[in-house]
Chain A
Amino acid sequence: MTALLQRIERFIVAGGGAFDGEFVELAAAAARFGYERVEPYRRLCDRRGVDIASLDDWRLAPAVPTSAFKSLRLAAATPREVFRSSGTTRGAERRSVHYHPYPDLYRTVIDASFAGACLPADAERLPILSLIPDRAIAPDSSLSFMAAHVFERHAAPGSAWAVRETGLDLDLAGRWLRARAEGEPVLVLATALALVLLLDRLEGEAGGAIRLPPGSRAFETGGFKGRSLETTPEAVRRRARILLGLDPDAVVREYGMTELTSQAYSRPGGERLRTPPWMPFRVLDPETLEEVEDGQTGLLAFFDLANIGSVCHVLTEDLGIREDSAFRLVGRASGAELRGCSLTTEELGAA
């Protein structure tokens, strides 16, 4: 095992490559590893008659739906971190649990992909404001794990966490940003909703707009929970330009989830998300689970080599469209939400 883990780490550190050659070999070895160590996965492969020993195409390894992380322990080794999803609706929804045996591999992934996607060129360390909770507040959040590692690697003195036990500290965030309106570029880490709330606050303040130094960036991830009717990524970029002085290219959107170790990032100014060279994706027809044509909608599946500690091939609940070797998110499969006799496409606001 150590040898396979080391090979995967080296592959990631080297920046991966095309999804052939060494990747194919590593993917087959990773699928075999999961088959040997993850009991539910072995049973699935056996039931489907997949001969994992002679697998030469990662696409043929059965993909595990992310919902399985809510009910099954999918761990290939003793976990050293346990990540739980935050849940998107209240009450009865079960949360995904990712038992992660290889947090160092997670850190390797962040080192290999975050800086290139999110930091200004030549910036090793810079002032960071995080609207993502730190690990003391959210010890089981994979996003907080990531933010903590980004802080460790890239935060300059004066960086700050603007989340308290009670929620976002927008006063602190506002003061921090205003104090850095002139000087070196800064980085703002935020969930999409936190960024919207920050922009709302700045908009509501007299003279609220700030001009962050050129080269500054904002990282945002996740959905606009509860604000999806009035908020789009384009609208956020537009408001970030007005209220923070950030170019549209400076707002980077991340796509990640508790069940995956690697992340996809948006291209400058656009909606398309690109996966790193160790995590190919496919867009699958729900009826057949065959790949759809470019431009058609289907379920997103990822083969994440860095997920070797659980299962690498994951079928998500997200719907996407492949465009130019990247993907665009267009929705989510039904199932998680309760909707009987309620409004489905619009809501009445509480004035």
Chain B
Amino acid sequence: MTSPTAIAQRLAAAAPSLRAIPGDALLAAWNETLGAFLDAGSPERRELDPDLLQSTGLSPAGLSHGLRSIGEGMLGDAAAAELRRPRHQREDGFSLVVLPAEPPGLVLQSLLPALAARAPVLFKSSRAEPCFAPAFLAALGQRLPALRDAYAATTWTGGDPAIEAPLQTSARLLVVYGGEETIEALQSAIPRSRLIAFGPRLSLGWVGPGSSLNQAARGMALDIATFDQRGCLSVHAVFAEPDTAPGFAAALAEALRELAPQLPPGHANTTDRAGVRLAREEADLRGFPCYGEALDAGTVIVDPDPRISPSPGLRTVRIHPVEGVPPLDDWNGRLQGIAVAGHMPVTIRRAFEQAGVSRFAPAGRLQTTDAAWRNGGIDLAAEFAAGDSRESKLQCSLDRAHESYGDAFRRLAE
């Protein structure tokens, strides 16, 4: 087996040939490959799914729905807009992307920007889910062989310095999805100009005035059930007005029940079932309304404490009645998205943005991202293209600041 370092050396030299690939050819290969991976009946998926279902524990319907929610917004015009961006990596060299174990298909969110930047990348798949990335890259390489020299996915047991030290030293850019301790350790070891770290995050729901409770509940149920609540855009808790919180909780429990036949929960392990049991027992002790039947079928708890806590999983969600801005101080930098039903006042939206939220979407669409979504506000294509010259980094920072001020002025104008 070729070592990751040897693979990386091969990739590093591929930047010039990548730049020579016509944009239309790249777009066609991307669309064909992604289309095949979103179609559960395609030969690619028929070959991949047994392993992917085994490693992810998702139900077949859950896997298909999850992949569509990540991938559908990266097809066609959306992909074209990304792939036709003018800034490309100019120097030789490779980047390293360390993928999370879940949700599956997340490689797409860094692969498309890397293709747009014509930046060679070595992807490290998680040992817990080693299937999707290599299968996708192999299929992409079949359609456009020139990509085979520029993109590869492999896996190794994380933390092996013999493998990782040379990669970390030689990679132009490291994009890492990791736990908080790993991120902190990497940040102290690698210059910020070469590291983009995505720590663990969760998402929330907001039910404001003017929302239809049943419609909001159906949408929120989908944002909870997609990927069985294992992604950073999965809703863990919902803020609702005090008057509507009890009714919304009942409607959400019903919506989760109705959704289950269409989107069955995947495999539930003892760890998760135990976590849900403890959440229900605590709710009972504290006298909170709690809806739920079997542990893996969803649990809705009305928790009057406005402070949020991570869900134990298995579609467990706490509804927090709040008036005004919820307390988010403990969650700065750990919130990803908000599923919105009804009106959200500007002050509330600003509070979420200040806590690091980078995505607001109507309830039911939170996990349905598209190619233009910038996770954490970071333009990965620009980062892949920029290299480590301070000038280009400075330009990226200025661009980001400009965009952020632009957004702020637009909202003020509204």
Contact = CB atoms under 8 A, between A and B. Distances in A.
Interface of A: 40-41, 43-44, 47-48, 63-65, 67-68, 71-72, 89-94, 226, 229-230, 286-287, 289, 297-299, 315, 317, 319, 331-351
B310 A344 contact: no
13 contacts: A92-B331, A229-B159, A286-B273, A319-B274, A333-B275, A333-B277, A335-B275, A340-B336, A342-B178, A343-B178, A350-B168, A350-B182, A350-B190
Nearest to A332: B271
B274 A286 contact: yes
Contacts of B161: 349, 351
Contacts of B286: 40, 68, 71-72
Interface stretch (B228-236, B240-248, B255-263): B228-236
B126 A345 contact: yes
The 10 closest A-B pairs by CB, nearest first: A350-B185, A335-B312, A349-B159, A333-B274, A334-B275, A341-B232, A351-B165, A340-B232, A92-B330, A342-B200
A94 B177 contact: no
A337 B233 CA distance: 16
B392 interface: no
A interface: dominant SS: loop
Given A92-B330, A333-B275, A351-B165, A341 B285 contact: no
Contact of B231 (A299, A317, A341, A349): A341
B278 interface: yes
B311 interface: yes
A340 B232 CA distance: 4
A351 B168 contact: yes
Interface stretch (B83-91, B94-102, B141-149, B346-354): B94-102
Nearest to B279: A335
Nearest to A43: B287
B12 to A, nearest CB: 18
B164 A40 contact: no
Nearest to B128: A345
A318 to B, nearest CB: 9
A71 B312 CA distance: 17
A87 to B, nearest CB: 12
Given A40-B286, A92-B334, A338 B310 contact: yes
Nearest to B190: A350
Interface in B72-120: 98, 100-103, 106
B276 interface: yes
A348 B101 contact: no
B313 to A, nearest CB: 5
Nearest to A74: B285
A232 B148 CA distance: 40
A229 B182 CA distance: 12
Contacts of B103: 341
B31 to A, nearest CB: 25
Contacts of B168: 350-351
A90 B161 CA distance: 26
A299 B126 contact: no
B413 interface: no
B331 A339 contact: no
A185 to B, nearest CB: 36
Contacts of A336: 310
A345 B284 CA distance: 32
B139 interface: no
A226 B181 contact: yes
Contact of B158 (A92, A289, A334, A349): A349
Q: Which among A40, A41, A349 has the greatest number of chain B C-beta atoms within 10 A?
A: A349
Contacts of B315: none
Contact of B312 (A64, A334, A344, A345): A334
A346 B278 contact: no
A334 B185 contact: no
B282 interface: yes
